[in-house]
Amino acid sequence: MCTGRVDPAFIVRAFTNGADGVYIGGCWPGECHYTTEGNYHTLGTVLLMKKLLKYIGLNPERLRVEWVGASEGIRFAEVMNDVSGKIKELGPLGKSEGIDDKALKFKLEAVRNLLPYIKLVEKERLGGPFATAEEYNRFFASDDAERLFRELVSDKLAVSQIMLLLGEGERLTSGEIARILGLGPSDVTRYLNSSARQGLVRFDEKQNVFLPPGVKEQARA
């Protein structure tokens, strides 16, 4: 299968199912067997997903793409040994980054829910296409890519996490939300105020907590 068919959802699913790392191997750039240059598309996807992993607090080195030709058996073995060693060094997903299982679940689910939008943004604004692998790497390491990511993705991803957390029916203060999700308290307050104006959440002034619409007010335990 061409690496161009590797959907971001596959990557998120692997991490959601407990994988500590994801490796994608493909043909060398310029040597696509299907003449579609799918490996360039995959490189853009991986670089964007690395930014997403970093944003939700996971080590982006847990995701890796390498080019290995069909005749490069020795290189394949070397790459796999290196990948395996690196993943062992990184340790268990989430726990090694100080993220508990509950927060990790919300973070990965938030990414999954936002993937249709992210793929559209990637196609229109963040994914190129570029002519060489070097151009992809250079762009995603640039200040422009970082700015676009913050403007187009980061806020929506944070709000997605918050909505999922409140959707569990919990009554939480902005400080509790920030602690659980590992977000900045001032950022959480800004997201909540914006979401409240849109009717996505409501604030219970008596208990000083945020609630999803439709949840009845009640005394906190």
Q: 182-200: per-residue pLDDT in tens?
A: 888 999 988 988 888 888 8
Pairing between β-strand 202-204 and β-strand 63-67 as defined by DSSP bridges = unpaired
Whole-number Å distance between alpha carbons of 209 and 218? 11
pLDDT at residue 111, rounded to an integer: 94
The pTM of this model reads: 0.84
Instruction: Please state, in angstroms and as integers, the Cα–Cα distance from residue 119 to each residue in 48, 116, 123, 124, following that order.
Output: 10, 5, 6, 9
3-state secondary structure of 163: helix
* Chain center to CA of 125: 17
Contact 215, 169 (CB under 8 A): yes
- Gap between the terminal Cα atoms of the chain: 53
Least confident of 82-86, 110-114, 150-154: 150-154
How much is the pLDDT for 219? 45
CA dihedral 154, 8, 44, 49 (to 10 degrees): 40
